[in-house]
Amino acid sequence: MLPLLLLALSDVPGPDPVAEALARIDSLSGYRLTLRSQGSGGEEIIHYSYRRPGDVRMDMESPYRGAVLIYRHDTGKVQLWPFGSPGRRPALSLRPTNRMVRSSQGHRVDQSDVGTLLRNVQRLQLHGSTRRLEPATHEGRPVQHVVVEAEPGRAVHEVARYDLWLDEETLFPLRVASYDRQGQRMESVLLENVQLDPDFPADHFDP
């Protein structure tokens, strides 16, 4: 049984799936999705929007239902409406490093996009292995299951392994799991209702 397992986890020749996925994402003007994250801080559900070159909007569903965060790359600031109604109520203006606008896992709004995630995965690749497991499905869609694991003692932001489930057609991540040096899962993220290059309302990032 062990030889078969090692065969399934062996390095696969050909194009690097992480580099290919990043190239696809870098070609997009933007995307929107529903993000479901589970980690030590509990579950977070966020309606997430990204517009190149770096504008982010998060409409919170859980745990702070109704709160809205908008990060603008041109100002470098996060506008926070704790009780919703952006454009009707005044916003708090905060730095991305402020604890009020960081996730339970410590993620910053200005570093929350999928491109940043994949660049962190690439950093792990420099001192580790990249493996493609057997073809799989996720929510009925064909996906590539890719595992990137660091050499012993190595990590990026405390992450020593990433599991990625990439949509077979678009290569956009539909699920991501991260693990620490001890093999304990740190976070599991589902990316649902993905829309690529959507038409955002004119005031979506500037209400």
What's the pLDDT tens digit per position in 72-113?
Answer: 999 999 999 998 888 788 899 999 999 888 887 778 999 999
Whether the pTM exceeds 0.85: the reply is yes
How far is the CA of 98 from the CAs of 65, 106, 133, in angstroms? 20, 10, 39
Residues sharing a CB contact under 8 Å with residue 5, sequence separation 6 or more, in sequence order:
none
Give tens-digit pLDDT for 23-79: 999 999 999 999 999 987 788 999 999 999 999 999 999 988 999 999 999 999 999
Distance CA 161, CA 187 (A): 11
pLDDT at 13: 58
pLDDT at 7: 35
Query: Cα angle vertex 157, ends 152, 158, to 5°?
Result: 45
Give tens-digit pLDDT for 109-146: 999 999 999 999 999 999 999 999 988 999 889 999 99
pLDDT at 5: 35
| 3-state secondary structure labels for all residues of 62-88 | ECCCCCEEEEECCCCEEEEECCCCECC
Are 177 and 162 in contact, with CB atoms under 8 Å apart? Answer: yes
